[in-house]
Amino acid sequence: MLRKSLLCASLLLAGCDPDSKQDADSFRQGLPSKQMVEVASPGPGGQGLVAAYTQGQTAEYYFLTVAAAASINGGTLAVLNLVEEIVKYPPSSIQGEVAVWGPHTDALSPTTWKLTVTRTDDDTYSWVLAAKAKIEPDTNFKTVLSGSHTAAVDENGERRSGYGSGQFIIDWDKSNALPGNEDETGVATMEIRYARTAPGTVASVEADFKVDAGGGTLVDANYRFKQAPGMGGELDYVVKQNIDVDPSRSQLEKLSIKSRWERTGLGRSDIKLSGGDLFGEATINECWDSNFLSVYYAVSFNPAIGYGAVGACGSFNAAVYSTL
């Protein structure tokens, strides 16, 4: 419902001062674009899961890598895309260092939105997306999305369109508390940090969030991604969850995943399970070829189900586990 409400708001947010176009553009450049925070994955999505431990079938942990990337993209790209849609329209006001889009309520929406962007330095901005129930007073606006952004500049001090660095926080609890919002994300809050400062530099995205581990218990999850232009990438994902299926053992185990892949799509995942009700550490390793077919599989707790030679892992012949 957050995405739908934002989209409705974007259709009618408009100002009336054509002379402020250049100033408005500078404030628009103070917001992150979805391209700055998009997490690439090692191949196309849309394929179904397959059984594990099957040589020559699509690698299970390739799918896990793609799913982890999608979990970040799904929550951030849709929201930022809609923020971009909002600021395609002229701001309602520009006063000094502050530009405001809204407040606006779509004709059939129970929610009112307001986007405020503040210049804090030559190329640095803070921004807040706030919302309230339509019937509530303006004093009841609550921040559902906020962040800061520094626009990247070239050697001449000119801004690089589509490049920059910053951070933002999505408060899903406040968003879901708005009237008509029934999304259940399983995530309470998500903090995103990103950097994509020039065409030839490494792009990075970091995400820290709270997820529901069951029974209303919130646990930390951490995500890291980086990729050089024209190269492969790497991804770390760490979360605590009750992996042990025995109902008499309820402690949370630590699941850490590190995936790396080449530009061709060939890649490797190294997984480690530890803590909780486990008596020690357990590791799982899988490599896939450029067609995403599993070519190597090894598990520390049952070597009998492994297959393939580590030489099939290409440049990833050694295991590397996440240090998060």
Task: Tell me the per-residue pLDDT of 137-146, one tens digit each, with 9 for 90 and over.
Answer: 999 999 999 9
What is the rounded CA–CA span in Å between residue 206 and residue 210? 14
* Residue 71 one-letter amino acid: S
pTM score, whole prediction = 0.79
What is the rounded CA–CA span in Å between residue 184 and residue 262? 35
Under DSSP, the state recorded for 157 is S
- Would residue 306 count as lying in a domain? no
Give the closest residue to 129 by CA, choosing from 101, 90, 166.
Answer: 101
Summarize pLDDT for 39-79 with one digit per residue, the tens. Answer: 666 754 433 223 344 576 777 777 777 777 776 766 677 67
- Would residue 243 count as lying in a domain? no
In the structure encoding, which two tokens stand for residue 309, read together?
Answer: 């030679």
In this structure, what are the phi and psi dihedrals at residue 45, rounded to the nearest 5 degrees? -95, -165
- Would residue 254 count as lying in a domain? no
Give the closest residue to 292 by CA, choosing from 27, 29, 58.
Answer: 58
- Would residue 219 count as lying in a domain? yes
- Would residue 216 count as lying in a domain? yes
Give the closest residue to 231 by CA, choosing from 260, 263, 199.
Answer: 263
Statement: residue 189 has pLDDT above 90? no
Q: With beta carbons less than 8 A apart as the criterion, state whether 112 and 179 touch.
A: no
- Would residue 268 count as lying in a domain? no
Q: What SS3 state is found at 90?
A: coil
- Would residue 153 count as lying in a domain? yes
In the structure encoding, which two tokens stand for residue 299, read together?
Answer: 């598990």
- Would residue 258 count as lying in a domain? no
Summarize pLDDT for 100-109 with one digit per residue, the tens. Answer: 998 888 788 8
pLDDT value at position 142? 92
Alpha carbon of residue 14 to chain centroid = 29
Question: Domain span at residue 100?
Answer: 2-49+60-236
Structural domain total, the chain: 1
